[in-house]
Amino acid sequence: WEVDKFEELHRSVIEKCPDTDKAIESCWRLSNLYLMSSDEPRYDKAIEVLEHLIAKYPDSPIVPEAKNRLLLAYKEAGHPDKVAAMYQELFKLNPNPDDRTFMIWALEYADALAATGKKNDADTLYQQIIERDYGKDQLEARAARARLNRK
């Protein structure tokens, strides 16, 4: 339960041994600590350490998981601009996801765009989600229709 001590130790590893696998592990464990060690997650601290991990160790095998966690932290901390930027990068790297993946990603991307005031771009994505549903009435298509109907 000595959260402060663990934080201090992991930060020490990150600062004193930055070119080791232990530093990468400490970044990950520190993000765990920030997200799970108290009643309220400390998203700002988790964001800081995850951004560091991704920037400093872009070739680490843990980067995909770190990006997923960072995306969640951005959403929960109320940073729709950063959520939108991450989805923009994701679609750039994966321009042709399967329909199911597209619908999941596009809904979150559109919601982030809408939250940043880019309503027309968001509406375009909502419409694409509905089109790629092919009448199956999946959750994402229902959500997209509801968001379009709120006009």
The whole-number pLDDT of residue 37 equals 82
The whole-number pLDDT of residue 7 equals 87
pLDDT tens digits, one per residue of 4-54:
898 899 899 999 999 999 999 999 999 999 999 888 999 999 999 999 999
Chain mean position to CA 56: 18
Place 151 in a pLDDT band, splitting at 50, 70 and 90: low
User: What region does 135 belong to: left with phi over 0, alpha with psi -120 to 50, or beta?
Assistant: left
Query: Does residue 90 register a pLDDT over 70?
Result: yes
The whole-number pLDDT of residue 30 equals 96
CA dihedral 83, 52, 54, 72 (to 10 degrees): -30
CB-CB neighbours of 136 under 10 Å = 9
8 A C-beta contact, residue 86 and residue 67: yes
